């Protein structure tokens, strides 16, 4: 057999190239590593892929410095390092960068930073003098550490992809969220509501998927106060209708809850919320419990927080499909029929 293979390759250089590629492909290995912020999500992704998480030791020295050791060989492997930027946000980002550096120095063939929620993406431009563009800084940190590719879900701003000089796979949670909420809205007169002008395009996409109309809330956010939003005007008819307020992330829930209360004041029959990143920083849970919301549905890109009004949808199947397609050199946009651009 080896003689035939040698003769065939000598006569046809293209055949030789294809055979070499096949041999290399057969040797490829996929390793999924998880940081400490949201290991439950990483374990679910691994289960969807039919693999085990790579064995990694992560501890802290007494002064807070992070120690990392990958406890199995990753030489020549395709490495996916998953860490959502939540909890102690800065610690989470640094831990992922350190894991990436460890994989690079262990001779990994490729390194993909999987960031279900990518931190600092709200700071994607200068809105005033002497301000940083922190989103660019975080992407540069991951790149400098050794990431060849970044994967994230529902970026706050699409331009963040341009901060990375390499492949950036932007996943969208809308299909998963719509699939979950659609049965609950069946037979109801639904209006998709954008909580501010910046989410109108997203609201139109959700309305198209659900076959509903759109309303818009004009919001004022004081420039000198963080996490403060004032809903001022409603554009659209919501009286007697079921409203679905959509947003990419919910932090302190000020925007979402003021929107819900305004909709109730204008005669909305029911108010639901839909978000990808349920950060729910204090006092979000308290605000949600006291608001006009019947229910808020969020994915689990960040660790879940308990509330009688919050329901979660797992993003793990989507992340697993993306990891598999990247490993197999298949299309990511095919997962969304090419509709994953903002």
What is the set of active-site residues? Answer: 219
How far apart (Å, rounded) are the C-alpha atoms in residues 42 and 82? 7
* Cα within 13 Å of Cα(210), Cβ side: 33
Instruction: Output phi, psi for 216, to 5 deg.
Output: -130, 135
Eight-class DSSP state of 300: B
Instruction: Give the N- to C-terminal CA distance of the chain in Å, as an integer.
Output: 52
> Are 240 and 263 contacting, i.e. CB atoms less than 8 angstroms apart?
no
How far apart (Å, rounded) are the C-alpha atoms in residues 157 and 153? 11
Considering just the CA atoms, what is the radius of gyration of the chain in Å? Answer: 23
* Cα within 13 Å of Cα(236), Cβ side: 23
Positive/negative CA dihedral, 39, 48, 319, 328: positive
For residue 283, whether the previous peptide bond is cis, meaning omega lies within 30 degrees of 0, is yes
> Hey, what's the torsion of the CAs at 325, 330, 331, 336, to 10 degrees?
-40
Q: Is 324 left (phi over 0), alpha (psi -120 to 50) or beta?
A: alpha
> Are 10 and 19 contacting, i.e. CB atoms less than 8 angstroms apart?
no
Nearest to 154 by CA among 126, 138, 174: 174
């Amino acid at each position: 057999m080896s003689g035939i293979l040698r003769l065939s390759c000598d006569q046809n250089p293209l055949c030789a190239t294809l055979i070499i590629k096949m041999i290399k492909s057969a040797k490829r290995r996929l390793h999924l590593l998880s940081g400490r912020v949201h290991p439950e999500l990483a374990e679910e992704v691994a289960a969807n892929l039919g693999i085990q998480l790579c064995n990694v030791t992560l501890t802290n020295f007494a002064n807070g410095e992070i120690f990392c050791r990958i406890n199995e060989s990753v030489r020549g492997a395709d490495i996916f390092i998953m860490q959502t930027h939540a909890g102690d946000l800065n610690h989470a980002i640094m831990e992922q960068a350190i894991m990436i550096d460890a994989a690079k120095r262990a001779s990994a063939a490729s390194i993909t930073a999987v960031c279900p929620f990518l931190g600092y993406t709200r700071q994607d431009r200068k809105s005033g003098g002497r301000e940083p563009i922190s989103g660019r800084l975080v992407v540069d940190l991951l790149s400098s550490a050794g990431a060849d590719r970044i994967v994230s879900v529902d970026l706050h701003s699409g331009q963040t992809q341009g901060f990375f000089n390499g492949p950036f796979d932007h996943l969208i949670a809308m299909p998963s969220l719509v699939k979950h909420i659609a049965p609950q809205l069946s037979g109801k007169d639904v209006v998709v509501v954008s909580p501010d002008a910046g989410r109108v395009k997203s609201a139109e996409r959700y309305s198209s998927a659900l076959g509903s109309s759109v309303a818009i809330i004009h919001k004022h956010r004081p420039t000198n106060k963080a996490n403060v939003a004032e809903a001022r005007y409603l554009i659209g008819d919501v009286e007697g209708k079921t409203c679905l307020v959509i947003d990419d992330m919910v932090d302190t829930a000020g925007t979402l809850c003021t929107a819900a209360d305004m909709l109730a004041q204008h005669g909305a029959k029911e108010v639901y919320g839909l978000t990808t990143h349920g950060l729910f920083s204090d006092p979000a849970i308290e605000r949600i419990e006291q608001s006009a919301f019947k229910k808020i549905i969020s994915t689990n890109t960040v660790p879940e927080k308990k509330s009688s009004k919050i329901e979660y949808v797992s993003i793990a199947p989507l992340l697993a499909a993306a990891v598999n397609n990247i490993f197999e050199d298949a299309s990511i946009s095919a997962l969304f029929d090419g509709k994953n651009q903002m």
